[in-house]
Amino acid sequence: AQSVSQHNHHVILSEAASLELGCNYSYGGTVNLFWYVQYPGQHLQLLLKYFSGDPLVKGIKGFEAEFIKSKFSFNLRKPSVQWSDTAEYFCAVNAAYGGSQGNLIFGKGTKLSVKP
């Protein structure tokens, strides 16, 4: 069955610390990969995406993610977090082809709390 696993349920960091959130997926076929962020009281926003090409992708607000096909992973990183990064982060995958792109499969999310 298709699934997405996010390793950490809740991560607590101090400002300026480095961040890495793990994401692994199980999907038989070519995939597109996404990270979404949900700030407190706000709706889901697309942070970054991978469709093809360079496996290191850069998103908004200094975030980046690396697609490692052999490990079925798409980890999210940021060198130095800020208090404003406090939010919930969701990894998601969909099929790159076949007509079911509208079905995003999400991980359970990782809550990030950044202490000022």
Partner 1 sequence: KAGVTQTPRYLIKTRGQQVTLSCSPISGHRSVSWYQQTPGQGLQFLFEYFSETQRNKGNFPGRFSGRQFSNSRSEMNVSTLELGDSALYLCASSLSPRESPYYEQYFGPGTRLTVT
Q: Which positions touch partner 1 (CB under 8 A)?
A: 32, 34, 36, 42-46, 49, 51, 90, 92, 94, 97, 99-109
- CA 115 to CA 7: how far, in whole Å? 21
- Taking the C-alpha atoms of residue 116 and residue 110, their distance in angstroms, rounded to an integer, is 19
In the bound complex, what is the minimum distance in angstroms from residue 44's beta carbon to partner 1?
Answer: 4
Our CB check for partner 1 shows the closer of 77 and 111 to be 111
Task: Look up residue 76 and give its two tokens.
Answer: 């999210």
- Tell the smallest beta-carbon distance from residue 89 to partner 1 (Å): 12
CB closer to partner 1 out of 48 and 114: 48
CB of 83 to partner 1, least distance (A): 23
Residue pair 64/10 in contact (Cβ under 8 Å)? The answer is no
CB proximity list for 54: less than 8 A, separation 6 or greater: none
CB of 97 to partner 1, least distance (A): 8
Closer to partner 1 by Cβ: residue 82 or 100: 100
Structure token digits, residue 68: 């490692």
Q: Tell me, rounded to whole angstroms, the distance of Cα 54 from its chain centroid.
A: 16
Q: Which is nearer to partner 1, 19 or 92 (CB)?
A: 92
